[in-house]
Amino acid sequence: MVLSGAYRELLTAAAGSAAALTGLLFVALSVAPRSQAAGYPAVIREVRAAASLLSFTNVLVVSLFGLVPGTNTGYPALVTAVVGILFTAAGLRSVVTSPETTRVHLRDQVGLFALLLLAFGFELGGAVELIAQPASTGGAQTVCYVIVGLMLIGIARAWELVGDRDTGILASILVLAGRDSRSGDDAVKKGAPPPASR
C-alpha cells in the first residue's frame, strides 16, 4: 500500500466529505436563482460553479482510488491534476472570449484561476513524485495538502453560489471599506446614478 496509516484515515474522511458536499452542491444549484451571481455574466457563474464541482470531484477521485489496496495514488492524482489544469485553461478562455465579460469582470476572476492553477500544479508535482518514488513522504503530503485545499476552494465557491454574492477576501474588504465597484455598475445598468463617493 502506497498510503497507509494516518494517510488512509485522511483519505477516508476526505472521500466522505467530498461525496456529501457534492450532493449538497447539486441541491444548491437546483434551487439557486438563475440570476447573475454578484453582478457577473452567466459564463462566469457557470465557470465558478464548475470549479466547485471539479474541486469536490478531484478530492473524491483521488481519495477513493487512494483507498484501493496496492494503488499508487500518484496516478489518479496525475490524471485529475491534468484535467484540472485543462479545465482552468478552458474556463479562462470562455471568460475572456465572452462578449458579456468586461475588464472588471476579468480582473475579479484572476484570483480564482491563479488559485486553481496553483492547486493543480502542486497536485501534479506531488503526483509525479509519488509515481517516481511510491514511498515518498513529500509527494504524499503534497497530494494530501492539495486535497484539503481543494475542499476549501469548493466550499468557498459553493457558498458564493448559494449566497449569490462574491465571498472573496478582496471583495469582502472592498465591501467593508464601502468601495464595492459592482454596486455602482449595477446602478448604472438600471439607469440610476452611481452612489456618490465619500
Asked if pLDDT for residue 28 goes beyond 90, the answer is no
| Ranges 10-24, 37-51, 102-116, 144-158: which has the least confidence | 37-51
Q: Is the pTM of this model over 0.75?
A: no
Q: Within a 10 A sphere around the Cβ of 111, how many other Cβ atoms?
A: 13
Task: State residue 180's pLDDT score.
Answer: 56
Contact indicator for 69, 134 with CB cutoff of 8 Å: no
Task: State residue 185's pLDDT score.
Answer: 46
Percent of the chain with pLDDT over 90: 22
Asked if pLDDT for residue 36 goes beyond 50, the answer is no
Spell out a b/e string for 85-95, using b for 16 or more CB atoms within 10 Å of the CB, else e.
bebbeebbeeb
Could you tell me the three cell numbers for 3?
498510503
